[in-house]
Amino acid sequence: MRVRDAVGRRGSAPEEPESAAATGVLTRIGVRTADHPTERRIPAAAAQLGVRGLEACRFWTVYHLEGLLSDADVARLCAEVLVDPVTDTVIVGEPDGAAWAVEVAPLAGVTDGAARELERAAAVLGVPPLRAATARRYELSGDLDEADIAVLEARLLVNPTIERSERGELGPSFSPTWEAEPAAPPVPLLGLDDGQLAELSRQRMLSLDVTEMRAIQGHFNSCGRDPSDAELQTLAQAWSEHCVHKTFKAEIHLTHTRADGRVELSHHDGLLDALRRATAELDGDWLRSVFVDNAGIIAFDDELDLAVKVETHNHPSALEPFGGANTGVGGVVRDILGVSARPIACTDVLCFGPEDLEEADLPVGVLHPRRIRDGVVAGIGDYGNKLGLPTVNGAVLYDRGYIGNPLVFCGAVGLLPAGSHPTEPRAGDRIIVIGGRTGRDGIGGATFSSAGLDATVVGRAGSAVQIGDPIVEKGCIEVVERARDQGLYNAITDCGAGGLSSAVGEMGAELGAEVDLATVPLKYPGLAPWEIWLSEAQERMVLAVPAARVAPLRELCRTWHTGLSDIGSFTSSGRLVVRHGDCDVIDLPMDLLHDGLPGRTLTATHRDRAAPARPVGPPVAIDSEKLLLDLLAHPNVASRESIIRSYDHEVRGGTVVRPFAGPGADGPTDAAVLKPLGTWHHDKAVALAVGLNPRLTPLDPWVMALHAIDEAFRNLIAVGADPDRVALLDNFSWGDPTRPDRLGSLVRAVQGCVEGARRYRAPFVSGKDSLYNEFDGQAVLGTLLISAVGVVPDLHRVATSALTACGSDLWLVGHGSDRLGGSIVADLLGLDDTRVPPPVTDPLPRYRAVHDLIASGRVRAAHDVSDGGIAVALAEMAIGGQLGLRATIPADAAEPGTPGGSPSGAGGNGSEASGGARPGLVAVLANEAPGRLLLEAPAAERAAVAARLGTLGRRIGSVTGSDQIEIHVAAGPAGGSSPATAGPGHLKVTLAAARSAFGCHESSP
Amino acid sequence: MPRVVAMSEPPVLIPHAPGTNRDTEAAAAVAAAGGDPRIEPVADLAPADFSGYAAVLLPGGFSYGDALGAGGRLALELQAWFGAELREFARSGKPILGICNGFQALVKSGLLGCRNFTLAANAGGRFECRWVTVRVEGDCRSGWLEPLRDSLIRCPVAHGEGRLAAADPTAAAELERAGRVAFRYLASGSSGGAAGVAGGAYPANPNGSVNDIAGMCDPSGAVVGLMPHPEDHIVDWQRPSGPAGARGSALFEAFVEAAR
């Protein structure tokens, strides 16, 4: 450890100090840790960016302290807090010179957790009070020039959305300290014409159309005054797509052109209602609360219910991947808290552009997919791990359709005693905010996410992105669980999009509310009243608390280091009245906020794909062994281990089926099974799975939705969940719904969901749509994520995908298809097949049979056949189990009796009769037809398995003691006419080759 | 106010700092082993009086967000607020166990008597969650670990900063000589013999710790810390696969027994 003389920079305070105790003496401390991973990561990442001259990076964490500190105080802070004597080097004062140095600091107001903890540590140590700010310093050496450094700054080291940077030294980013007089100035609105209304909406980023602006103008006409800025922003937020789902409630006229040219006109009175009706028709007595609250609630056992929710955080993650994903997790966990449940697990599904995308193909204003992925993965891990929630299930997809619009779906599950969630605020209840302080962060998130992105958004929307503070949220979790058990509140909701405006407005919708913004604790002064009201600062919950129970709640908050402020009360006035001290800010009738939004009528068009005259099939001569290895190595098939292991999937001690299975813990599993603490007295467990198939969206969104449901459902069945107790969640990430083609495919996808709920008798319990995912006029690949939650009757009777024993039988449930549209193999071989495999018409009999076999202990391993097809699925079972196998795959063309795809043959491109044709070898090995499961059962169970499966399944092979994966293709029905027809074939690859292609880490190199 | 200690179920203090998160599992493991776990927020513990407790367990998590290095802020509080009390506690032979973040805090506070060691970023450069096998070292001087000597524990690790690093090459040798190595990472599938250690190889040694050391004790043997999470393997269904046994529950049984 090297300590230099403390050389404070006296008298250089940038602004007036916040507290009287802090003074203008600045001390700069740089700390470098030996073997810090960043020093290896930066040169490697630079090389990927084409900067090959960077030989070394010295990485420093810089602490700026402002306060009356003696040299001895600084030395103590270093010794006790900042400097690890084993690994660290420290420089107090000016840094050493370096050929190239770049310093990066968070913009003022962005969460700086280390600085806050350092200030508190100083208090624990008893050194004088100080203000702290942190920065990072990269000292770069090698054969570098100006242009190289510029590339590194832009592409690797700095994100201007949340950070500022400087060559050489950078001054501290203390929180802003400016004061502002509270004011809510009127915005001229009365008398504006349509053009001016549109301009006003654009200028203030209201994301409202002219009809909506006119409705607001109408209200204020009748009041005879202009709105205040806060009133206008409140209405824009309350009426935003993000908060009220205008598109999902809109009246839609769909023009649907079938593949044969017929045109059907139809009228839809609300997509959300269609999903709700599908759930209502199923009438499950285990549904507790669906579609009405922050999260869906279903029964788990006699005492406890499960709360489930999946959210998107796409726009923020595109701009600031770490912070966007970080706060995505935080937000969905608060949704669970918002129904009074204790969060117990997280899921995440991530969609990125290709990781090997050429820099030249990257649009201006877009971060490279690799940088987005690395940031998102780190952000999810950081938040979930720090909350102590296991991240147990999810998916990662790469596709060019996500280059400008990456998608981040964050899910959470919670547990609550049945009937313990209070939902009725009363007039007179105090409005209590618990958790973090309010800053300028996240202002306008709701309206921002209701518009498309382009290269200029980064500048405009900087404040809409933020970094989370999971430790503050963890405090909220502890407080809310206890407050619920002690009956301290009458209602609760989270502060999400729209901030206090949305939370208080929604809770007080039937009552009225009065708020004084001067009582809201701020991170730093200087916020205008409307900013306090609309801020989306993270980690805050709003509770309706009877006055007499505020004191015990305050005591709970003290114990758990959680902030509490009393900002007003609910009233019976029917009005939302907001002040800031003596300044009037808002006075609006509640019914204008909640019922004033004019209904929307939208036009949608959808055109089914015509069948290709002659699909371009795979080459006749194909090396099927190479094909299997290439499929296993495909970015959408290969192991996700390096990502998944950076998430804690074991915390809370309840993980029964985890993301990996088998002796080497490297075979991918289909779903997670959890046994929550507090439920160990019985054998029931929770199962979580996801399904998505966005590559099918451009081909047939209706079929895509059914396939996504089938995949999620089947994944649950594969681990042992009961097919008659499955709840579904929908998340739609689509483009601009005012563009008829985008809306048309969205409507078809929703119709597929409605049909799926019926076919699988699986109700939707919660859903969310994220629209306007557009970059420069390019819509995101329309993506429907289906999440499924099920119940495993006995946690001792679960299955994973890893083969367990030599000599076992292998069984196949379901039939393949000769249609390769949207498949991995089509992508790999560049096949132009637009025909999609038909959905399963009657799925439940097969899944009930499989469930019986797992629940009775006859089936020891099970795996769904999905991305990559059956050869990949077999190989994955062998990879996980580290056992060879021999199997003969039937050359099915289709499910017996399947008419095709959509009604009227739309999805199946009806003219293509596929029943009898014998598909080619490639199609047999790699088609992705739904409804298929592979099972392993001991040979001794053969008769029992055969009896239960009947015609639903066939025995196709066995687990061998060899180190080979040996796959034969049976001769199918006669009449092969496909261009790719091949005779019966076979392939053989070694287990080692398959494991290596898949990306398993071999411990003995 | 000192509590009356009922020795049939020794009261075990589990301090909870903001960001602690494996406290409930630790409490479940202590209860299953016959102890009486008491999770207490750190805010309620000062001024320190641990006379009512028979053992202290510092659980895993991210105390204070690990904002100033893993466990660093908690280490400061352990020293400043509870240092004297904890040292006296250990001197009287009462067991102190730190798991993961609790271990990090014990090391950095000096309570494990090894300021020449630290827990640094994993060699792999990122957070890592996976099951490992550790052996309780046969020559470990900790008295309360004696019943476990040479036995194996399988359980997960879940940490980003778990690489035990020494200030100089002799430090690890001294630690070994003093019998203060309590747990060592074994090669996967190993049954424990001398040849069965991980040998520094990932993933059996998941973080690159010197000499495959997964945990250690203080010179008195009363204070023990480790990176892996034995509290996540107290019943068989928690184990992903592999033979029965090697549960972490044995460690908590010894811990509670020592508290009696």
In DSSP notation, A818-872 reads S--TT-HHHHHHT-B--PPPPPPSS-HHHHHHHHHHHHTT---EEEE--TT-HHH
Of A1, A346, A538, A650, which to mutate for an interface test with B (greatest number of B Cβ within 10 Å)? Answer: A650
Confidence (pLDDT) at A984: 64
Judge whether A167 and A102 are in contact, CB under 8 Å. Answer: yes
Cβ <8 Å between A86 and B118: yes
* Whether residue A997 has pLDDT greater than 50: yes
* DSSP-based three-state secondary structure for A954: strand
Confidence (pLDDT) at B8: 83
Tokens linked to A218: 């109408």
Smallest Cα distance from A789 to chain B, Å: 20
* Whether residue A457 has pLDDT greater than 60: no
Confidence of residue B116 (pLDDT cuts 50, 70, 90): very high
- The 10s digit of each residue's pLDDT in A916-949 is 445 688 999 999 999 999 999 999 999 999 999 9
* Whether residue B215 has pLDDT greater than 70: yes
Confidence (pLDDT) at A982: 44
Tokens linked to A9: 């920079």
Judge whether A826 and A833 are in contact, CB under 8 Å. Answer: yes
Give mean pLDDT, residues A327-340.
96
Residue ranges of A 652-691 with Cβ closer than 8 A to chain B: 652-653, 655-656, 658, 660-665, 675, 677, 680
**Strand partners of residue A9:** A26
Cα dihedral sign, A824-A825-A827-A833: negative
Of A29, A84, A643, which to mutate for an interface test with B (greatest number of B Cβ within 10 Å)? Answer: A84
What is the pLDDT of chain A when averaged over all its residues? 90
> Does the beta carbon of A36 lie under 8 angstroms from any beta carbon of chain B?
yes
* Whether residue A2 has pLDDT greater than 90: no
Judge whether B215 and B182 are in contact, CB under 8 Å. Answer: yes
Confidence (pLDDT) at A258: 93
The answer, yes or no, to whether the previous bond of B203 is cis (omega within 30 of 0) is: yes
* Whether residue A19 has pLDDT greater than 50: no
Chain A residue numbers with beta carbons less than 8 Å from the beta carbon of B60 are: 651
CB pairs under 8 A between A and B: 167
Confidence of residue B243 (pLDDT cuts 50, 70, 90): confident
Task: Please give the Cα distance from A32 to A118 (Å, whole number).
Answer: 17
Which amino acid makes up residue A374? D
Exposure of A498 by Cβ count < 10 A (0-12 exposed, 13-18 middle, 19+ buried)? buried
Question: In the annotation, is B100 catalytic?
Answer: yes
DSSP string, A206-257: ----HHHHHHHHHHHHHHTSPPBHHHHHHHHHHTSHHHH-HHHHSEEEEEEE
Start-to-end Cα distance in chain A: 37
Tokens linked to B214: 């997964």
Cβ <8 Å between B118 and A648: no
Confidence (pLDDT) at A446: 55
Confidence of residue A704 (pLDDT cuts 50, 70, 90): very high
Confidence (pLDDT) at A917: 47
Task: Please give the Cα distance from B226 to B162 (Å, whole number).
Answer: 9
Confidence of residue B47 (pLDDT cuts 50, 70, 90): confident
Would you give the distance in Å from CA A930 to the centre of its chain? 25
Confidence (pLDDT) at A905: 37
Which of these ranges, A523-527, A563-567, A829-833, B38-42, has the smallest mean pLDDT? A523-527
Find the CB nearest A677 among B24, B128, B237. B24
- The 10s digit of each residue's pLDDT in A543-587 is 999 999 999 999 999 999 999 999 999 999 999 999 999 999 999
* Whether residue B58 has pLDDT greater than 70: yes
* Whether residue A907 has pLDDT greater than 90: no
Confidence (pLDDT) at A914: 39
Which amino acid makes up residue A805? A
Burial A537-566 (b: 16+ CB within 10 A, else e): bbbbbbbbbbeebbeebbebbebbbbbbbb
* DSSP-based three-state secondary structure for A472: helix
Residues with Cβ within 8 Å of B12's Cβ and at least 6 positions away in sequence, in order, are B30, B35, B36, B37, B38, B53, B54, B55, B56, B57, B255, B256, B259
* Whether residue A380 has pLDDT greater than 90: yes
The answer, yes or no, to whether the previous bond of B47 is cis (omega within 30 of 0) is: yes
The more confident residue out of A26 and A912 is A26
Cβ <8 Å between B128 and A649: no
Q: Pick the catalytic residue: B16, B159, B229, B233?
A: B229
Tokens linked to B124: 């792999």
Confidence (pLDDT) at A581: 94
Distance (Å) of CA A705 to CA A200, A672, A843, A947, B6: 39, 22, 15, 32, 60
* Whether residue A653 has pLDDT greater than 60: yes
Instruction: Check if the interface score ipTM surpasses 0.90.
Output: yes
pLDDT above 70 covers a percentage of chain B that reads 96
Cβ <8 Å between A81 and B72: yes
**Strand partners of residue A307:** A297, A414
Cβ <8 Å between B117 and A661: no
Smallest Cα distance from B106 to chain A, Å: 14
* Whether residue A421 has pLDDT greater than 60: yes
Confidence of residue A523 (pLDDT cuts 50, 70, 90): confident
Confidence (pLDDT) at A572: 97
Give mean pLDDT, residues A735-739.
95
Confidence (pLDDT) at B195: 66
What are the residue numbers of the active site of A? Answer: 242, 313
Smallest Cα distance from A874 to chain B, Å: 20
Q: What is the DSSP letter of A453?
A: B
Task: Please give the Cα distance from A954 to A492 (Å, whole number).
Answer: 53
Find the CB nearest B64 among A40, A471, A646. A471
Smallest Cα distance from A812 to chain B, Å: 24
Q: Pick the catalytic residue: B16, B100, B128, B155?
A: B100
Cβ <8 Å between A118 and B130: no
Confidence (pLDDT) at B1: 41
Confidence of residue B3 (pLDDT cuts 50, 70, 90): very low
* DSSP-based three-state secondary structure for A414: strand
Judge whether A606 and A254 are in contact, CB under 8 Å. Answer: yes
Find the CB nearest A645 among B44, B69, B128. B128
The enclosing H or E element of A276 equals: helix A271-282
Judge whether A799 and A854 are in contact, CB under 8 Å. Answer: yes
Cα dihedral sign, B62-B66-B70-B76: negative
* Whether residue A378 has pLDDT greater than 70: yes
Give mean pLDDT, residues B187-193.
76
Residues in chain A: 1005
Smallest Cα distance from B63 to chain A, Å: 8
Four-CA torsion B47, B49, B50, B53, nearest 10 degrees: -120
* Whether residue A12 has pLDDT greater than 60: no
Confidence (pLDDT) at B7: 56
Chain A residue numbers with beta carbons less than 8 Å from the beta carbon of B116 are: 85-86
